[in-house]
Structure 1
Amino acid sequence: MFDARLRPLIDPPLDALGRLLARAGVGANAVTLAGLLPAVGAGLAIAHHHYVLALALVLLNRLIDGLDGAVARIRGPSDWGGYLDMVADYVFYLAVPLGFGFASAANTPAAMVLVASFTLTAVSFLVFAALAAKHGRMASEHGTKSFFYSTGLAEGAETIAVFVAMCLWPAMFVPLAYGFAALCLLTVVQRTALARRTFRK
């Protein structure tokens, strides 16, 4: 919901860092793969109740995720890079709720619901992108991407905010997880309505 509005604020510093990495010969895909370490590390830290460490790893992962796009904008995006970036994003999105699910049996049902809502959101997002490509549709609100990014209520910025809140207040995981799962499901409904209007004919 807020991703497109935040891009003018976050892109300039990320692009500056991306230029430094590109000049040093670092490729966007290498940056993407590097981001897997803090993503998985955050889940493991949460599972072992190291929430401050998890918070630092969550923020590091999101910084790296922004940097791979910055490097790609300088060195040139690729379809393989777009695929790799999306898979890495969902490793991160799933690692955090899985970590909370392993941290406490009381968290497990809410973690399962949140993972399921992420799965439905991903399916609606990726199928919409595939159909948009088939119809030659493009979107620029989220910057230069390898495929169509449809806007929704639950996007990257909202996910990061909720994950940060979970790490700061782990005792609130269950209501935060159910609340964000509901927002994800509303996003699926919203995107489905948009798909019906866009692709029905």
Structure 2
Amino acid sequence: MFDAKLRPYIDPVLNRMGGALASVGIGANVITVIGMVTGLVGALAIAEGHTLAGLALVIANRLLDGLDGAVARATKLTDFGGYLDIVADFVFYIAIPVGFAFAAPQNLLPAVLLLASFALTGISFLAFATIAAKRGLETTAHGAKSFFYNTGIAEGVETIAVFIAMCLIPQHFGAIAYGYAMICCLTVIQRSAMAARTFSE
């Protein structure tokens, strides 16, 4: 919901950093993989009960996720880069709730429901992007991307805010997870309604 609104403030900084990295030959895909590994290590730290360390790695993952796109824009956007980026994103989004599930037995059910809601939002997002590409639809609301990014209630900014809250107050993981799972389900409903309007014959 807030991703597109924040891009004008975040992108100039990321683009300068991305241009600097590109100028010394660091590729976007390398940054994507480093970011994914950073997120997995963060999930492991959370599983071991080190939530503040996990928080630092979650933030580092998101910074690297922004930088890979900036490097790609400074060099060349590729289809494989777009594919790798979205796969790395979902690895991260899955890994953090799994980390909390391993951290405490009472986290298991809310983590499972949160992951199920992530699966639904991911499916709706990618299905919308696939059909939008088939119809030749384009948007730049989220910056230059390899495929169509459909706006929803639950997007990257909201998810990161939720993960940060979970790391800061891990004892309330269950309540936060249940609440955000509901928001994700509302996003699926919203996106489905938008698909019905956009793709109706």
TM bin (shorter chain): over 0.9
1:115 Cα offset (Å): 0.4
The correspondence of residues 54-65 of structure 1 with structure 2, limited to 5 A, is 54-65=54-65
1:70 Cα offset (Å): 0.2
Whole-angstrom CA distance in 1 between matches of 2:4 and 2:117 = 22
**5+ residue gaps in structure 2?**
none
Identity of aligned residues (%): 57
1:143 Cα offset (Å): 0.2
Residue 167 of structure 1 pairs with residue 167 of structure 2: yes
Q: Could you say which residue in structure 2 is the equivalent of 1:39?
A: 39
- Once the two structures are superposed, residues 116-162 of structure 1 have per-residue CA deviations (whole angstroms, 9 ceiling, x without a partner) of 00000000000000000000000110000000000000000000000
**5+ residue gaps in structure 1?**
none
Q: Could you say which residue in structure 2 is the equivalent of 1:111?
A: 111
Whole-angstrom CA distance in 2 between matches of 1:70 and 1:79 = 15
Q: Could you say which residue in structure 2 is the equivalent of 1:138?
A: 138
Moved over 3 A (4+): none
Q: Could you say which residue in structure 1 is the equivalent of 2:192?
A: 192
DSSP 3-state at the match of 1:35? helix
**TM-score when normalising by structure 2:** 0.99
1:38 Cα offset (Å): 1.2
DSSP 3-state at the match of 2:150? coil
Q: Could you say which residue in structure 2 is the equivalent of 1:151?
A: 151
- Once the two structures are superposed, residues 25-83 of structure 1 have per-residue CA deviations (whole angstroms, 9 ceiling, x without a partner) of 01111110111121101110110000110000000000000000000111010110000
Whole-angstrom CA distance in 2 between matches of 1:118 and 1:58 = 17
Residue 74 of structure 1 pairs with residue 74 of structure 2: yes
Whole-angstrom CA distance in 2 between matches of 1:46 and 1:95 = 10
How many aligned residue pairs are there? 201
Please give the root-mean-square deviation of Cα atoms over the aligned residues, in Å: 0.5
1:4 Cα offset (Å): 0.2
Residue 181 of structure 1 pairs with residue 181 of structure 2: yes
